[in-house]
């Protein structure tokens, strides 16, 4: 339930039309008990309606926002994305797979040598 004083230009209001929101264009008061509300429907049609104090229970000013926004903390986003990257690194990097297990230095060196050999062969053949 909203008061008539809450009806301001550009506010989204539920209760004027059934099953849809309207956007307030202008409000013109007639004393302290009535106002003329000019609104725009979702289809773009402009209409007006007289509202009285007894209409307040059916009105609701809705917070109309975006379904998403870019106003979050950038440093926190980078921290979380880096954590996910590290968590999924074993899928893309064979060396990271070896780090999870007890690998001896000669085994690690053998894998690194074969990996370097693969890189050299791959990039020199093209």
Q: What is the pLDDT of residue 100?
A: 59
Q: What is the pLDDT of residue 55?
A: 92
Residue 48 has pLDDT above 90, yes or no: yes
Confidence of residue 116 (pLDDT cuts 50, 70, 90): confident
Length of the chain: 126
- Provide the Cα torsion 58, 28, 34, 44; round to 10°: -30
Query: Greater confidence, 29 or 91?
Result: 29
| Record: fold of 4-62 | SH3 type barrels. (2.30.30)
Nearest-angstrom CA–CA distance, 117 and 94: 14
Q: What digits encode the pLDDT tens for the residues 1-47? A: 788 898 999 889 999 998 889 999 999 999 999 999 999 999 999 99
Q: Which of 51, 67, 66 is nearest to 2 (CA)?
A: 51
CB 22 within 8 A of CB 43: no
Strands ordered across the beta sheet of 20-30: 46-52, 34-40, 20-30, 12-17, 60-62
Question: Alpha-carbon torsion 68, 74, 75, 77, what sign?
Answer: positive
Q: What percent of the chain has pLDDT over 70?
A: 73
Q: Which residues make up the CATH 2.30.30.30 domain(s) of the chain? A: 4-62
- SS3 at position 109: helix
Confidence of residue 88 (pLDDT cuts 50, 70, 90): confident
Q: What is the pLDDT of residue 125?
A: 62
φ, ψ of residue 116 in degrees (nearest 5): -65, -40
């Amino acid at each position: 339930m909203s008061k008539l004083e809450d009806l301001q230009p550009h506010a989204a209001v539920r209760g004027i039309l059934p099953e849809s929101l309207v956007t307030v264009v202008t409000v013109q008061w007639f004393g302290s008990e009535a106002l003329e509300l000019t609104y725009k429907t979702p289809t773009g049609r402009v209409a007006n309606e007289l509202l009285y104090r007894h209409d307040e229970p059916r009105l609701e000013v809705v917070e109309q926002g975006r379904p998403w926004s870019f106003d979050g903390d950038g440093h926190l986003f980078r921290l979380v994305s880096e954590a996910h990257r590290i968590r999924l690194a074993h899928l893309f990097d064979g060396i990271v797979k070896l780090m999870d297990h007890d690998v001896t230095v000669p085994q690690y060196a053998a894998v690194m040598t074969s990996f370097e050999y693969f890189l050299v062969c791959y990039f020199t053949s093209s």
